[in-house]
C-alpha cells in the first residue's frame, strides 16, 4: 500500500496558494530545489501530473485540482490532531538578518521566542537591505533587520544609528602606502561599504582579501593577520578582537539600522519578536562620567 506523506501535500498546497515555488520554499523553510523535488515525488507516487506545464505561472491540471482539494481536507484533519496533542506548529516566520548583525545576541532572542511561542517556527537567512525591501514588499519576508548608509526608504518599527569600528588582532598590519586589506561579510555588507566610502574620501585604496558569511571565520582571518575588519561595535564586543581606536585609518561613517516588519503585519508574536531583536541590537546609551 502506498501512503502519501503529509509534507508532500503541504508543499503542493503552499505552491498553489502562493503561486510560486520560491515563496513556498521560503514559507516552508526549505530551498526551492527541495520544493521541486517534493512535487516530483508526489507526482511519482500518484502516477500523474499535478501542474499544467503548458500554462504560465503555477496552474493545476484537472487531476491536480482534485488532489489539492483532498490535500486541504487531509491537512486540516492532521493539524487538528496535532493541536489536540499540543504539538502543532501553526506557521513559520521568515526572517532576514544581515551577516554583520547575526551575532551571538540574536540566538538567545530566538531561543526565548520559542519558549514563549513553542508552536511557531522561524527560518532565518542572511540578506542585503536591497533584497530586504523587495522581499518585505512581496511577502517573502515577515521580519528583517536592515542597515543602510542613509535613512531607509521604508518605515521601520525600530530604528537607531550605529557607528562601525575598525577591528584588529595583534597580527594586523596595514601598509601605509598600499591598499588596505579588508575582511568582510561580503560586498553587500553595510560595514564593508562604510569602510570603502571612508577610505575613498581620503584617497586610500582597499582590496577585499577575505570574505565569508560566518563571524567565526572572519575572526580567524583577522587573528591570522590577513586584514582589517569593520564591525558594528555591538558585534565587535562579542569577538576576541580589539577595537582599533588609534587606527591610521579614516573615521567611519554612521549607518542607519532598523527592524522592519511586513506592511500590515499585526500578529502579536511577530511584533514581540521585532521588539526583542531591536532591544538586543540597539546600542546601550553611554552614561555621562560620574552618573550612576
- Give Cβ neighbours of residue 53 (< 8 Å, ≥ 6 apart): none
Residue 20 lies in a domain: yes
| Bridge partners, 162 (sequence order) | 255
Domain that holds residue 116: 91-161+255-281
107 and 125, same domain (yes or no): yes
If asked whether residues 185 and 71 sit together in one domain, one would say no
Total domains, the chain: 3
- 57, 85, 113 - which closes a domain: 85
Q: Are residues 182 and 75 in the same domain?
A: no
pLDDT tens digits in sequence order for the chain, 292 residues long: 467 888 888 889 888 888 888 888 877 767 788 888 889 988 988 888 998 888 777 888 999 899 999 988 888 887 777 666 555 556 778 888 886 666 667 888 888 988 888 878 888 877 778 888 888 877 778 899 988 888 888 899 999 988 889 999 999 989 988 999 999 888 878 888 899 999 999 999 999 999 887 778 888 999 999 999 998 877 777 788 889 988 899 999 888 889 999 877 778 888 999 999 999 888 766 433 333 3
d(CA 208, CA 182): 5
Same domain, 127 and 113: yes
Sign of CA dihedral 214, 191, 147, 107: positive
Evaluate whether residue 78 is within a structural domain.
yes
Q: Which of 56, 85, 114 is the last residue of a domain?
A: 85
Give the number of other CB atoms < 10 A from CB of residue 11: 26
Q: Do 157 and 259 belong together in one domain?
A: yes
- Asked whether residue 248 is domain-assigned, the answer is no
Q: Note whether residue 1 is domain-resident.
A: no
Q: Does a structural domain hold residue 250?
A: no
How far apart CA 232 and CA 147 sit, in angstroms, is 11
CATH for 101: 3.40.190.10
Amino acid at each position: 500500500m502506498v501512503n502519501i506523506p503529509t509534507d508532500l501535500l503541504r508543499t503542493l498546497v503552499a505552491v498553489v496558494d502562493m503561486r510560486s515555488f520560491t515563496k513556498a520554499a521560503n514559507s516552508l523553510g526549505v530551498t526551492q530545489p527541495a520544493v521541486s523535488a517534493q512535487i516530483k515525488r508526489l507526482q511519482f507516487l500518484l502516477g500523474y501530473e499535478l501542474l499544467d506545464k503548458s500554462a504560465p505561472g503555477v496552474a493545476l491540471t484537472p487531476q491536480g485540482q482534485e488532489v489539492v482539494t483532498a490535500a486541504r481536507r487531509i491537512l486540516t484533519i492532521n493539524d487538528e490532531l496535532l493541536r489536540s496533542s499540543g504539538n502543532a506548529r501553526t506557521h513559520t516566520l521568515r526572517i532576514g538578518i544581515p551577516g554583520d548583525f547575526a551575532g551571538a545576541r540574536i540566538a538567545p532572542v530566538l531561543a526565548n521566542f520559542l519558549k514563549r511561542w513553542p508552536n511557531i517556527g522561524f527560518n532565518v537567512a542572511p540578506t542585503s537591505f536591497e533584497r530586504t525591501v523587495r522581499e518585505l514588499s512581496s511577502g517573502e519576508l515577515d521580519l528583517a533587520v536592515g542597515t543602510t548608509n542613509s535613512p531607509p526608504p521604508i518605515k521601520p518599527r525600530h530604528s537607531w544609528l550605529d557607528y562601525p569600528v575598525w577591528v584588529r588582532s595583534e597580527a594586523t598590519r596595514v601598509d601605509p602606502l598600499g591598499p588596505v586589506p579588508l575582511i568582510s561579510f561580503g560586498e553587500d555588507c553595510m560595514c564593508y561599504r562604510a569602510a570603502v566610502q571612508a577610505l575613498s574620501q581620503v584617497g586610500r585604496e582597499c582590496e577585499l582579501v577575505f570574505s565569508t558569511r560566518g563571524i567565526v571565520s572572519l575572526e580567524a582571518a583577522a587573528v591570522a593577520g590577513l586584514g582589517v575588519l569593520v564591525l558594528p561595535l555591538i558585534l565587535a564586543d562579542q569577538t576576541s578582537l580589539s577595537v582599533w581606536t588609534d587606527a591610521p585609518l579614516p573615521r567611519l561613517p554612521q549607518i542607519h539600522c532598523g527592524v522592519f516588519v511586513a506592511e500590515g503585519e499585526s500578529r502579536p508574536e511577530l511584533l514581540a519578536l521585532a521588539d526583542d531583536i531591536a532591544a538586543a541590537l540597539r546600542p546601550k546609551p553611554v552614561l555621562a562620567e560620574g552618573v550612576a
